[in-house]
Amino acid sequence: MGRGQTAMTRGMWLKVVVAVVVVAVVDDSAAFEVFEATVSDIQAAFGNGELSSCAELVGLYVDRIGVYDELLRSLVTVNPNVTQNAVALDGMSSEERAARPLWCIPFVAKDNINKAASQFGMPTTGGSDTLRDSYAEENAVMLQLLLDAGAVLLGSSNMATLALEGNNTYSTVLGQTRNTFDPRRSPMGSSGGTGSAVSASLCAFGLGSDTDGSIQNPANVQSLVGLRPTYNLVPPRGTLPANDWQDTFGPMARSVQDVGMVMNVLDNAKPVRSPVAPTHTYPTLPPAGSLVGVRVGLLNDTLYPFPGDTSPVDPDVRAAVRTIAGEMEALGAEVVILN
């Protein structure tokens, strides 16, 4: 999603929250605007000098977490070493930075993805109070891939306890996570903490896990792009899945381009005896005509109600779906309506 009209509902209520809970806010009008910022926006800001250091960017996100997350409750733990991590990234040479495709891109990881205690000092609870004091000896493979690519971990995101709930995100560790667009509504789950954090611009992207909709559902209700990769495509070692044989891990972000950038890093190492095909290259800016020969299925209920359902499909949703379908057709795809 871009930084325009689709963000207005979320932006308006977030500003109301600030007016209520913040007595005084330092004027940061000259600072880089992290609200709705994509990975590409951040990289461009470093390139043109709008951002001068990784520590500066991380500080903006940490400040934003401090303002909004008391209400949203999307993060179980904020990385206590995040400032030091950012300073270390600032100490890299230009060549070292260029070799890291996600240099200083802030992200969060669901609380069933291991973070090494010696590096971050954060437990991996799986959303369960019984695991509140459970610390991992090493990072999950997928987390280490992102760190090696230069990304900076902001914290662990809330999740439904042991990832056993797909329609909401409530944990016995933190409680209820709220929907960024409307705090009265469900953020869905079980990766709702990641969804709310990304949607509220508390990070640039986040990792979730998915048994049966736990990435797609939070992304859907909070206007994000979420990808449930093929099973085992992203190395699962160092995680706490709900089902070893079904769970898969993937990113949520503001755009397809951002998801492609993250997947180009995550789909970079395969476990032993992996049945998955060799590493893919994910397009981040598809050229015109890149979908020629591709057939895209469009579920009929995204345009019209289910048979017997008297509730109308939201006209804005219908219009957005039709617009996207038209854009795919313009790229050469054949869009097929599925009943």
190 is catalytic: yes
Q: What's the rounded Cα separation, in Å, for the pair 1 and 199?
A: 10
pTM comes to: 0.85
Instruction: Evaluate whether 263 touches 252 at the Cβ level (below 8 Å).
Output: no
Selected catalytic residue, list 128, 157, 190, 255: 190
**Does residue 337 carry a pLDDT above 90?**
no
Selected catalytic residue, list 196, 199, 214, 255: 214
Per residue in 83-106, pLDDT tens?
999 999 999 999 999 999 999 999
Rg (CA), the chain: 20
Can you give the pLDDT at residue 195?
A: 98
Tokens of 37: 């910022």
**DSSP string of 66-77?**
HHHHHHH--EEE
Q: What 8-state DSSP symbol labels residue 298?
A: E
Instruction: Evaluate whether 107 touches 79 at the Cβ level (below 8 Å).
Output: no
111 to each of 33, 140, 187, 232, 328, how far by Cα in Å? 27, 11, 16, 19, 35
Label the pairing between strands 225-226 and 248-253: antiparallel
118 is catalytic: no
Which is more confident, 268 or 305? 268
pLDDT band at 22 (very low <50, low <70, confident <90, very high): very low
Selected catalytic residue, list 110, 128, 156, 171: 110
110 is catalytic: yes
Q: What's the rounded Cα separation, in Å, for the pair 339 and 337?
A: 7
